[in-house]
Amino acid sequence: MTSLDRNSITPEALRNEATRLRAELTETIDQIRQQPGYETFLTLPTYEDVQKAVTPDRPLVYLLTTTAGSLALVVTANNGQSDIHPIWLNDFTETQLNELLKVWFAAYNNSRNDHQTWLNTIDQATQQLWEPLIGPMVQQMQDLGFDRITLIPTGYLSLLPLHAAWIEDPSKPTGRRYALDHLHITYAPNAKSLTAAKEIADRVQANSILAIDNPNQNLPSSEQEVQAAIATFQNPTVIRHDQATVEQVRSQLPNVAIAHFSCHGKAELTDPLTSGLDMSDGRLTLKDIFALNLAEGDRGLRLAILSACETGLIGTENADEAISLPTGLLQAGVAAVVASLWSVSDLSTMLLLSKFYDLWRKDGLEPSQALRQAQIWLRDSTAGEIAAYGGFFTLTPTERQYAHPFHWAAFSYTGI
């Protein structure tokens, strides 16, 4: 947290505070790099790292904005080598991104008082992303013959649900066509983390789960969500309510392959290593998780599902370092993370993740594809179809009550 108060904000004070925060971040990163297995934490990837990360069916797409426009660098595999295809996106500048984010966060920060404006802002921002930025990239990927990508957004682009960019399409159930309808999109902070994630995913069997159920006892749908999460696992470990302390969860994390957190969470935008998940007695922070050395030896988590608010946000003071819970967890020994960019509805999240587990564990889809298909299902299904799935009654069976991206687009899949 910043040490400035309202009466001390001067240009010199801001510069001094920025210097202090940068030094504090550098010291923290140095401490993490001293831990076994984290020597390369947040170091720049090499070209060899990029070559290792790209596969024939899944190119890497680096997306960046500048004052002169935007650029997507598509890295594809070619007989053991890699090719780079630039896509120039001159109609979307850094200035436009900053203006969009200014409106975005103003609406989000006031969403408890004015929820409708927040819904309208999500609609407008995701539509604005299509024509100058995401649409041309999607078209180019299809022209190259790809239907899936790993997207590596740089800087403040990481704050937005790029997979939810859309254009009007009357032929679709919602009257819109979204980026995730065209492409199977997963995210990564860089190529090096993706390679490490693949090594963990290849060696860790997804046969055990730790589920954290509603530590603060204020999520009405949590029990049903957790039940859906553990249904296909033998001998699941479930820690409920006030038993879900920071220490209890820390002690169990190294022993399982899957971790499901049904709880509240918070991104500290100016101090991202203190971002975390709220347990019954305090916050399980990203810094706490690094201390567990999950990547040591043959250990690692195959997947962490963060069914909590704001778990996908990066620290805006250091956007280029892309420190967030998902990216930090990848560095800490987790192969993939499902997380959210904004405060999400308890009920729609329960439905989304219940469907996700069905598609993954029962229908055999890979986890990232299961999340994508669950999002499409929640978005396009009528209330009657959802009621039949969940076993409850509805008075509006033909309404698509979860069509708005607020309900499904917050969640993204980072890693393998």
Per-residue pLDDT reduced to its tens digit, 316-332: 444 444 567 888 889 88
pLDDT over 80 at 65, yes or no: yes
Single out the residue of 351, 376, 370, 355 nearest to residue 173, CA to CA. Answer: 376
124 residue type, one letter: Q
What DSSP state is assigned to residue 334? Answer: B
Q: Could you give the CA distance from residue 49 to residue 43 in angstroms, rounded to a whole number?
A: 11
How many angstroms separate the CA atoms of 140 and 87, rounded?
8
What is the model's pLDDT at position 298?
Answer: 79
pTM of the shown model: 0.86
Query: Which tokens is 133 given?
Result: 């930025």
**In the chain, what percentage of residues exceed pLDDT 70?**
86
CA distances from 138 to 23, 74, 165, 213, 222 (A): 39, 11, 10, 38, 36
Q: What is the mean pLDDT of residues 387-403?
A: 88
Using the predicted structure, report yes or no on whether residue 75 has a pLDDT greater than 50.
Answer: yes
Residue pair 339/348 in contact (Cβ under 8 Å)? The answer is no
- Asked if the domains 56-187 and 191-415 are classified in one and the same CATH topology, the answer is no
Element (H, E) at 276: strand 276-279
Q: Partners of 78 in the beta sheet?
A: 81
Lowest mean pLDDT among 2-11, 362-371, 394-403: 2-11
Domain positions in the chain are: 56-187, 191-415
Instruction: Write down the mean pLDDT value for the chain.
Output: 88
pLDDT number for residue 317: 47
pLDDT band for position 168 (50/70/90)? very high
Q: How confident is the model at residue 2 (pLDDT cuts 50, 70, 90)?
A: very low
Q: 1 pLDDT band (50/70/90 cuts)?
A: very low
The pLDDT value given to residue 391: 79
pLDDT band at 311; cut points 50, 70, 90: low
* 6 or 192, greater pLDDT: 192
Separation between Cα atoms, residue 341 and residue 316, nearest integer Å: 13
Asked if 176 and 168 touch (Cβ cutoff 8 Å), the reply is: yes
Return d(Cα 71, Cα 79) in angstroms, integer.
25
Rounded Cα distance between 63 and 73, Å, is: 7
Provide the pLDDT for residue 326.
87
Q: Using one digit for the tens of pLDDT, what is the confidence trace for 107-123?
A: 998 999 999 999 999 99
Task: Check whether 409 has a pLDDT greater than 90.
Answer: yes
Query: Could you give the CA distance from residue 121 to residue 115 in angstroms, rounded to a whole number?
Result: 10
Asked if the model's pLDDT at residue 126 lies above 80, the reply is yes
| Predicted confidence (pLDDT) per residue in 194-243, tens digit | 999 999 999 999 999 999 999 988 888 899 999 999 999 999 999 999 99
Across the beta sheet with 258-262, the strand order is: 81-89, 69-78, 60-66, 148-153, 184-187, 411-415, 336-340, 303-307, 258-262, 209-213, 237-240
Which residue type, as a one-letter code, is found at position 142? Answer: Q
What is the CATH code of the structural domain delimited by 191-415? Answer: 3.40.50.1460
Closest CA to 407 of 338, 337, 343: 343
The predicted structure's pLDDT at residue 212: 97
Q: 181 vs 81, 283, 358, CA distance in Å?
A: 30, 36, 20
Instruction: Indicate if the pLDDT at residue 169 is higher than 60.
Output: yes
CA dist 94 → 126, 156, 276 (Å): 16, 9, 29
Helix (H, G, I), strand (E, B) or coil at 289: helix
| Angle CA 186–307–122, to nearest 5 | 65
Give the pair of three-digit tokens for residue 2. Answer: 């910043």
Q: What is the mean pLDDT of residues 294-316?
A: 76
**Tokens 């399982």 belong to which residue?**
256
Cβ atoms of 324 and 310 closer than 8 Å: no
CA distances from 119 to 85, 109, 218, 267, 352 (A): 36, 12, 23, 21, 19
Number of H helices, E strands in the chain: 15, 16
Question: Mean pLDDT across the stretch 11-30?
Answer: 68
The per-residue pLDDT for 276 is: 87
Query: What pLDDT band is residue 313 in, cutting at 50, 70 and 90?
Result: low
From CA 44, how far away is CA 320, in angstroms rounded? 11
Question: Is CATH 3.30.420 the right assignment for the domain spanning 56-187?
Answer: yes
d(CA 145, CA 161): 23
Are the C-beta atoms of residues 309 and 264 closer than 8 Å to each other? yes
Phi, psi of 135 (to 5 degrees): -55, -50
Type of residue found at 42: L
Report the pLDDT value the prediction gives residue 351, as an integer from 0 to 100: 94
Residue with the larger pLDDT of the pair 327 and 127 = 127
> Which pLDDT value is given to residue 295?
80
Residue 146 is encoded by which pair of tokens? 């790809």
pLDDT band at 53 (very low <50, low <70, confident <90, very high): confident
Question: What is the mean pLDDT of the segment spanning 368-374?
Answer: 99
CB-based contact 157:64 (threshold 8 Å): yes
